[in-house]
Amino acid sequence: MEELLNKKNEEENLEIPVGPARLVILQPTSFCNIDCSYCYVPDRQVKGVMPLELVEKLCDRLIDEDLLSSRCSVVWHAGEPLTAGKKYLNEAFDIVHRKIGEKTKVQLTIQTNGTLIDSQWIQIFKEHKVRVGVSLDGPKWLHDKHRKDRSSKGSFEATVHGLKQLIDAGVDTYVLAVVTQSTLDWAQEFYEFFHALGVKDLGLIPEEVDGINLTSSLEGENVLQSFDDFLKHLHACYVQYQRKPEIREFRGVRESIFYSKPITAASNYKTRAYNLLTIDKNGGYTTFSPELAGMHTARGEDYVFGNIRTDAIRESVKTRKFQDFYRAFYAGVQLCEKQCQWFSMCGGGLPSNKLAETGRLDVAETMSCRLHVQAFAKTSLHYYNSIIPNVQVMTEPERTA
Ligand code: SF4
């Protein structure tokens, strides 16, 4: 870190560490068939998909620029990817397997609202070994509060129907649930709902100020206390039901306490450009936070650093635009390291949250940190300290999603 700092002071071009790309997020369409109240994706009513030649081009670039990691997770996310259609995604999956499947261990994943799933989709997922994440916020009264279609009809029944088909067919499935203020009074019902459905893995997303979503029901100090209480109650259920389902965030803290090495500047993948690579439907690419693909500065500039058709990924970090972005981003990570007791678990970063909440990158703690990182760590530590004295969070686990 010090070396980079010195270069920053000298105003030289920074030598920015690049890749390998461990998490590639493709945004095949911005269109969504429903209209959730807290969605961060712009242009959700605009139809149109990423041309398949761009998927080919992306794979070629990853190979030609030696950016493939030994394991690469390729995720279709943003908008509702299934609206791109079966023929389209079948071909897209084929391209990825054909082009890079023999060069790296590829995990294909799709994040969906689940409403369009039928037996043909299940066949496609099984054939291509696709992991499927379904967005479901809990029981009907919680889910339908925010996840409605454009005629204000809740999507709960269709989503649960889709999820059940996936589970019954043995597709590798997980659930992502957005936690809003409404969820906080219902920890037990929330957990037992997913347990009864047979969900194995559950990721929690505290409602964030991110992308074009400029407010959150979880803002404010009073809510933070309620959120902590919710997590304590949820963790008790998690223990009672023997981690069925597993909760991604609690697993992350557990792994950082018991299984991982301490994070260092050199091992902090969050400061490596294009470790996380996001490509929008027009081929524009960005890094660090997928939400940056749809965000703009106050002056209307975007955070897209090149186009997969025409611009070498490794070269893009040398441009003035990327260098300026990275200086501010890196200053934020350094502040994180100086100021935050959770840095060894988190590694800093979260630029889209920092931007959406403060309009700046060179800052440290955000509401998203307090909810999505620190509250989970505190709850887990509280539990482990009650059974093993003096447990400390020391490190961050090696994971990409
Ligand atoms: S929790 Fe927030 S402030 Fe702390 S290291 Fe992570 S990003 Fe930085």
User: For residue 51, is pLDDT > 70?
Assistant: yes
Cα 382 from Cα 262, distance rounded (Å): 20
**pLDDT band, residue 298 (cuts 50/70/90):** confident
This prediction's pTM: 0.91
Q: What is the pLDDT of residue 7?
A: 52
Q: What is the pLDDT of residue 349?
A: 78
Ligand 1, atom 3, residue with closest C-alpha: 365
Q: Give the percent of the chain with pLDDT over 70.
A: 92
Greater pLDDT, 257 or 116: 116
Ligand 1, atom 6, residue with closest C-alpha: 348
DSSP string, 82-149: GGG-HHHHHHHHHHHHHHHTTTSEEEEEEEE-STT--HHHHHHHHHTT-EEEEE--SSHHHHHHH-B-
pLDDT (average), residues 319-331: 96
Pair 33, 149: CB distance under 8 Å: yes
User: For residue 157, is pLDDT > 50?
Assistant: yes
Q: What is the pLDDT of residue 243?
A: 97
User: For residue 311, is pLDDT > 50?
Assistant: yes
**pLDDT band, residue 212 (cuts 50/70/90):** low
Q: What is the pLDDT of residue 389?
A: 79
Instruction: Calculate how far, in angstroms, residue 366's C-alpha sits from the geometric centre of ligand 1.
Output: 8
365 lines ligand 1 (CB under 6 A): yes
Bridge partners (DSSP) listed for residue 175: 134, 202
Q: What is the pLDDT of residue 395?
A: 47
User: For residue 401, is pLDDT > 50?
Assistant: no
pLDDT (average), residues 383-401: 65
Question: Which of 353, 365, 366 to mutate to test ligand 1, by most ligand atoms within 8 A of the CB atom?
Answer: 365
Q: What is the pLDDT of residue 33?
A: 82
Question: Which of 366, 368, 395 to mutate to test ligand 1, by most ligand atoms within 8 A of the CB atom?
Answer: 366
**Mean pLDDT, all residues of the chain:** 90
Q: What is the pLDDT of residue 210?
A: 62
Q: What is the pLDDT of residue 3?
A: 53
Q: Is 204 strand, coil or helix?
A: strand
Cα 206 from Cα 179, distance rounded (Å): 5
Nearest ligand 1 atom to the CA of 341 is 4
345 lines ligand 1 (CB under 6 A): no
DSSP string, 269-336: GGGSBTSEEEE-TTSEEEES-GGGGG-B-TTS-B---EETTT--HHHHTTSHHHHHHHHHHHHHHHHH
166 lines ligand 1 (CB under 6 A): no
Cα 314 from Cα 290, distance rounded (Å): 18
Greater pLDDT, 33 or 57: 57
The gap from C-alpha 7 to its chain's centroid, in whole angstroms, comes to 31
pLDDT (average), residues 357-384: 93
Q: Give the percent of the chain with pLDDT over 90.
A: 72
Mode of pairing for the β-strands spanning 284-287 and 276-279: antiparallel
The per-residue pLDDT for range 181-207, each reduced to its tens digit, is 999 999 999 999 999 999 999 999 999
Q: Is 49 strand, coil or helix?
A: coil
106 lines ligand 1 (CB under 6 A): no
**pLDDT band, residue 148 (cuts 50/70/90):** confident
Q: What is the pLDDT of residue 400?
A: 39
Bridge partners (DSSP) listed for residue 296: 302
Q: What is the pLDDT of residue 111?
A: 97
Return the residue matching tokens 């799933």: 117
**pLDDT band, residue 398 (cuts 50/70/90):** very low
369 lines ligand 1 (CB under 6 A): yes
Q: What is the pLDDT of residue 358?
A: 92
Which helix (H) or strand (E) segment is 166 a member of?
helix 156-169
Instruction: Calculate how far, in angstroms, residue 318's C-alpha sits from the geometric centre of ligand 1.
Output: 27
Ligand 1, atom 7, residue with closest C-alpha: 348
Task: Map out the domains of the chain with their CATH numbers.
Answer: 16-258 (3.20.20.70)
User: For residue 48, is pLDDT > 80?
Assistant: yes
